[in-house]
Amino acid sequence: MQYDDITKLILQACFEVSNELGSGFLESVYEKSLLVALEDLGLNARAQVPIKVNFRNRVVGDYFADIMVNNQVLIELKAVKKLAPEHVAQVLNYLKASKIEAGLLVNFGNPRLEYRRFNNYSSPI
């Protein structure tokens, strides 16, 4: 499945979660709900996927991606009033460290779902 096809399905699931739950819950509630919605769409989604950060061929840090879909798309979830530049940097760093090519930054913190798409080689796509 192409990245565009997967991200369209992921966003469909995100909108389903947003429409059903609304805003105001903790990020963990959206994470668990999104896992259910993604599974219902036939996607393979895993939560809290470890990502190792290497420097000069040595592991110097560990991060956890909120959700990984089909081992192809990384999702970073937020439940904040407004996305900030550091949220964007976080996704770009996760993509770089994981070697995953596509990522989504999704914010459930407002009544209207907010999202941005990224690839590993540039800013938002």
Q: Each residue of 24-77: pLDDT tens digit?
A: 999 999 999 999 999 999 999 999 999 999 999 999 999 999 999 999 999 999
As a whole number of angstroms, the distance between CA 92 and CA 46 comes to: 19
Q: Which CATH class is domain 3-119?
A: alpha beta
Would you kindly state where each structural domain of the chain is located, as residue ranges?
A: 3-119
CA torsion 80-39-98-84 (nearest 10°) is -10
Please report where in the chains the tokens 């407002």 appear, as a residue: 110
Q: How far apart are CA 13 and CA 50, in angstroms?
A: 23
With H, G, I as helix, E, B as strand and everything else as coil, classify residue 11: helix
Q: Which residues pair with 77 in a beta bridge?
A: 106
> Which pTM does this prediction carry?
0.91
Strand partners for 38:
none
